[in-house]
Amino acid sequence: MTKDVILANANVVLETEVICGSVHIRDGIIVAIDSGGAVPVGAEDLEGDLLCPGLIELHTDNLERHIQPRPKVDWPHAAAIIAHDAELAGVGITTVFDALRVGSIPAGTKTSYGKYARGLADEILAMRQAGALRISHYLHLRAEVCSATLIEELAEFRESDRVGIVSLMDHMPGQRQFRDIEKYRAYVSGKYGMQDADFLEHISRLKELHDALGEKHEKAAVTEAQRLGAVLASHDDTTAAHVVVSAQHGIRLAEFPTTVEAARACRDNGIAVMMGAPNLIRGGSHSGNVAAGELAELDLLDIVSSDYVPAALLSSALVLGDMWGDMARGIATVTKAPADAAGLTDRGRIAIGERADLIRVARVAGASAVRETWVQGKRVA
């Protein structure tokens, strides 16, 4: 049965402008956009609130927080996935690429970590198949180059697994995000309680892995992304040389470049730059890397990711809209731009023929409040 929904008297955020108008939805698709503040019979009056495309999140570690709400506390996965999904719907995210690490280091040191991605992916996909999830879920495989088992773990994924992104993660200390060894020492010492001897052993082990397998793993990850039909992303590019290698691999998305130099090189090579919303909201990087706000002012910021604070995604888009004096452009960093980068052609814009993934947003005391979320025309939050 055909079902029509009309959302009227809204400030509708279109691709390049904001208009006072209404959006007409039929069977989960946008079929008409009208200007003016009229509220037709049977329509929902949005009372002048913003009506935006649903937010698209390309890189979030939020599920991990639900699975392990405290150190050494494991939560049932089904309940954690449902809670994660509901939280995202509640803050306006209608499409998410759940980030899962692939590549492990067998037991032996305090910083060893085991395999988990294939099993958790199966659980997410099963919950989706059962209709238990409110929003659209894809997978983002974080390929840890400096690991022992990357190739075997990638091989477990199939073309039907909804893997949308594969990102190259090279966390070898002394370069990229961890180019400052002392900052890296402080990070791992605080997280794992390492003493100096433990830290030196840890560095030595990582170097051995990187020297033996790093190049092989990087090539394999590029090949596997192609097999899976996934977009390839880089992570923590720091120098123009890093970006040149990224471009040679066919990378289309740069996650969290750490310097202006790297961001400029991405722009020169047609690679979209993504930065973290917490960086933007807090006014700088907690790791001492380039500030997202600086890249925004230099016109070097394309996409924003919530990273580890889901509610920050919408807030960051509004901050950018205010900074640029262009709310449509700000909202595009969390809607159209990530959709384009991920190859999603049916969402990310309020336009006729697009999926009716929409959010109603009020601005209260300078903060953003998501009042309603629709996925394919159905209210989910």
For 327-334, what is the mean pLDDT?
98
For 75-111, write each residue's pLDDT tens digit.
Answer: 999 999 999 999 999 999 999 999 999 998 776 665 5
Per-residue pLDDT tens digits for 119-143: 999 999 999 999 999 999 999 999 9
276 occurs within a structural domain? yes
pLDDT of the residue at 198 = 66
pLDDT 10s digits, 257-294: 999 999 999 999 999 999 999 999 999 887 678 999 99
Residue 362 lies in a domain: no
Q: CA-based diameter of the chain, in Å? A: 73
Phi and psi based region of residue 102 (left: phi greater than 0; alpha: psi -120 to 50; beta: remaining): beta
The three-state secondary structure class of 362 is strand
Phi/psi region, residue 224 (left: phi>0; alpha: psi -120 to 50; beta: rest), is alpha
The answer to whether residue 9 sits within a structural domain is no
Tokens 């989960």 belong to residue: 28
Give the gyration radius of the chain's Cα atoms.
21
Which backbone phi and psi does 269 adopt, to 5 degrees?
-105, 10
Number of domains forming the structure of the chain: 1
- The answer on pLDDT for 52 being more than 60 is yes
Report helix angle 117-129 to 77-90, nearest 10.
70
Query: Residue 285 phi/psi, 5° resolution?
Result: -80, 135
Assigned domain for 99 exists: yes
Asked if the structure places residue 40 within a domain, the reply is: no
d(CA 68, CA 308): 14
Q: Find the mean pLDDT for residues 309-333.
A: 97
**pLDDT computed for residue 147 by the predictor:** 86
pLDDT at 190 exceeding the cut of 60: no
Task: Give the total residue count for the chain.
Answer: 381
Instruction: State whether residue 101 is helix, strand or coil.
Output: strand
Residue 179, number of CB atoms within 10 A of its CB: 18
Q: What is the pLDDT of residue 170?
A: 82
Mean predicted lDDT score pLDDT of the chain: 91
Question: CA-CA distances (angstroms) from residue 182 to 25, 78, 186, 206?
Answer: 55, 39, 6, 16
Q: Is residue 173's pLDDT more than 60? A: no
Instruction: Name the most confidently modeled range: 10-14, 147-151, 185-189.
Output: 10-14
Residue 30, domain member (yes or no): no
Give me the pLDDT at residue 209, please.
76
CA angle 161, 164, 167 (to 5 degrees): 115
Report which residue type is found at 98.
D
User: What is residue 133's predicted lDDT score, i.e. its pLDDT?
Assistant: 98
CATH of the domain at 222: 3.20.20.140
* Nearest CA-CA partner of 103 in 51, 179, 169: 169
Q: pLDDT band for position 194 (50/70/90)?
A: low
Look at residue 257 and tell me if it is in a domain.
yes
Return the closest-CA partner of residue 357 out of 374, 345, 340: 374
Instruction: Tell me if 19 is assigned to some domain.
Output: no
> How many angstroms separate the CA atoms of 232 and 161, rounded?
16
Cα–Cα dist 310/352, whole Å: 28
Band of pLDDT at residue 47, cut at 50, 70 and 90: very high
The range of the structural domain enclosing residue 223 comes to 53-347
Give the mean model confidence (pLDDT) for residues 220-245.
96
Q: What pLDDT score does 100 carry?
A: 97
